[in-house]
A and B are shown apart, each in its own frame.
Chain A
Amino acid sequence: MKDNKINTPIDPKSIKGWGVDADPKNDPTYPMRDRMNVAEDPNSKHRPDNLQPVNEELLKSIERPKVSAVFGTPEPPSGLSGMIRRQAFKYSENEYKHWLPLILADRVNVMEGIVADMAHGKLPNIWAEKGYDMEWKYNRTAFITKMATIGAVTAGLVVWLSSGSKKKKKGKNKSADRDYLSRF
């Protein structure tokens, strides 16, 4: 175990602000300190006066009876990912059947985003969107190594898979030949 020699001891009292918020009564501390149970709250069901109108599709957790007074509106569910999200919201937040489909929907949504870009005549600029300029500027050697490794592994996989399918095809042809010959 190596001690870090550059850590020099400091007198805490020399630090500006030391102890200004020290509070022996901070125990139990926030958020327990101000705890109020529902029975103590004379108005526990109080809601804001005005409710945001629901003018677009909104997925609601089944663990609450009503839509919250305000909510976000961008990107309502749509397409295949939307179908998956609607299905997920049939289950409570306590269930994997709620969360795992949402993660799946997010991945499907990524593909939908690429298709939507292309449908609008736009090819996603993956280099720019991934901020690779920064890797090139500040981390070039590691970046080139990483990309070369990914390229080599991908090429290896393609070669391996294509040789496998060729062999399969060859094998299939051989058995076809045998079948042909067996007929005579």
Chain B
Amino acid sequence: MLAMDYRGPKRVRAVQKPMPEIKHPQDAIVKVLRTCICGSDLHLYNGNIPDTRVGSTFGHEFVGEIVEIGSEVTKVKVGDRVIIPFNIACGECHFCRQGMFGNCHESNTEATAVGAIFGYSHTAGGFDGGQAEYARVPYANVGPVIIPADMDLDDAVLLTDVVPTGYQAAEMAGIQTGDTVVVFGAGPIGIMAARCAWLFGAGRVIIIDKEEYRLDFARNYSYCEAYNFEEIGDPVMFIKKITDWMGADCVIDAVGAEAAGNALQTITGRKLLLQAGSATALHWAINSVKKGGVVSIVGVYGPTDNLVPIGNAMNKGLTIRGNQTSVKRLLPRLIDHVQNGVLNPKGLITHRMPLEEVADGYRMFANKLDNCIKTVLMPPTANQ
């Protein structure tokens, strides 16, 4: 089968690989119909996540058709078209039973600080991902959700990560009616977080980034104010000024390790890897939220350390929440929102490429070429 193949920082290709096999009675094999490149894939692509082995296949955003099931799979059958949540969850452990499907304790042998994620290094369990024609899906009784008959596959594939992560970012921010919400990062997750902030009754939503085309996109898609941090000066001062010098009620970090905007953070975090990525957005979030406010983190950082003003977080009495998204928990509600027209996930898609051109897709997304917001990769199997 054709699959993406990681060769080293900023080097990927599409090659033929062996078909995945059933390894556990609750496994299923899916034929991939749509798969996306995610902003968090860029941390792997750039070589910033430890234990990313050459030969790995990335891809945690994919939908597909079940083609084979293990002996204990009862909730889905061959031929079902399914949404595959990006995290792998057993549904039975102490954490899954609290709805923390992103923190499953029975799917990742190689690290305890993170649950298992498809195609996201051995630190996240060592599973091959969905940027391929076929993929192994463990715990098929738990994760996969059948795609409603009337749902577009382009909407469905964005329900694997982008929509739930944007939604959970807003949920974790504890938004109350009338709150001012600031989102750092106008990538697909940030744009979706800004859109979802309104669902919780936000009174004002502001997004900050440096890519003008993304800010324009966010204004139209998320109905929010959008500002370029290269034009507004110190973004923390700017937010203080436009919030009567109080700070925002809630701030969302939707950037993570690849943040720009601070030379020290960029050099130590992204170039020298002395930190687990550049923590510029989180730094700004802590400093721009009001006293007693909430910082919600969905941007991905590596497992070591970051330079952030934790003293300010304490002195301001902040609540800081973060997590990998509990996709499975959120899917029923989000499917309703898509079917009712409240959310329009496929409106984020700007590019569609064949899987064979995966290297071009990564380069385009990583370097924000051709006004790229979201790229869908089409495996050859998608047309069969």
Contact = CB atoms under 8 A, between A and B. Distances in A.
A81 B198 CA distance: 48
Contacts of A38: 94
Given A69-B107, A99-B303, A106 B112 contact: no
Given A69-B106, A106-B52, A18 B13 contact: no
Interface centre among A15, A53, A58, A69 (most CB of B within 10 A): A69
Interface in B7-63: 7-13, 23-27, 47, 50-57
A70 B55 contact: no
Given A113-B54, A134-B360, A71 B125 contact: yes
A160 interface: no
Interface string B323-360: 10010000001000100111100000000000000011
A38 B95 CA distance: 10
Interface in A11-53: 12, 15-24, 26-32, 34-36, 38, 41, 44, 46-48, 50-53
A67 interface: yes
A103 B168 contact: no
A2 B231 contact: yes
A88 to B, nearest CB: 8
Interface stretch (A72-80, A149-157, A167-175, A176-184): A72-80
A103 B11 CA distance: 16
Interface centre among B103, B111, B343 (most CB of A within 10 A): B111
Contacts of A131: 12, 359-364
Contacts of A133: 360
Contact of A61 (B109, B116, B227): B109
Contact of B126 (A35, A71, A93, A124): A71
B200 interface: yes
B304 interface: yes
Interface residue SS majority, chain A: loop
Contacts, number: 264
Contacts of B225: 4, 7
B105 interface: yes
Given A26-B200, A34-B99, A135-B367, A130 B10 contact: yes
A144 to B, nearest CB: 15
B55 A75 contact: yes
B298 to A, nearest CB: 12
A134 B368 CA distance: 10
B304 A75 contact: no
Given A71-B125, A129-B7, A138-B370, A102 B51 contact: yes
Interface residues of A, number: 82
A132 B88 contact: no
Contact of B364 (A18, A85, A110, A138): A138
B113 interface: yes
Interface residues of B, number: 100
Contacts of A26: 171, 174-176, 200
B303 A22 contact: no
B98 A68 contact: no
Interface string B129-171: 0000000001100000000000000000000000000001001
Nearest to A128: B359
Interface stretch (B74-82, B233-241, B310-318): B233-241
A25 to B, nearest CB: 10
Given A46-B93, A106-B52, A4 B228 contact: yes
B227 to A, nearest CB: 5
Interface of B: 7-13, 23-27, 47, 50-57, 72, 88, 90, 92-94, 97-100, 103, 105-113, 116, 122-123, 125-128, 138-139, 168, 171-177, 198-204, 219, 223, 225-228, 231-233, 237-238, 241, 273, 302-304, 319, 321, 323, 326, 333, 337, 340-343, 359-364, 367, 369-370
Interface of A: 1-2, 4, 6-7, 10, 12, 15-24, 26-32, 34-36, 38, 41, 44, 46-48, 50-53, 58-61, 63-64, 67-75, 81, 85, 89, 93, 96, 99, 102-103, 105-107, 109-110, 112-114, 124-126, 128-135, 137-139
29 contacts: A1-B232, A12-B204, A17-B337, A18-B201, A24-B176, A26-B171, A28-B319, A31-B103, A31-B323, A41-B97, A47-B106, A48-B26, A48-B106, A68-B107, A68-B108, A71-B116, A72-B116, A72-B125, A75-B126, A99-B304, A106-B51, A109-B8, A110-B7, A113-B55, A124-B11, A129-B7, A134-B363, A134-B370, A135-B363
Per CB-CB distance, the 4 closest pairs between chain A and chain B, nearest first, are A131-B363, A72-B126, A110-B8, A22-B201
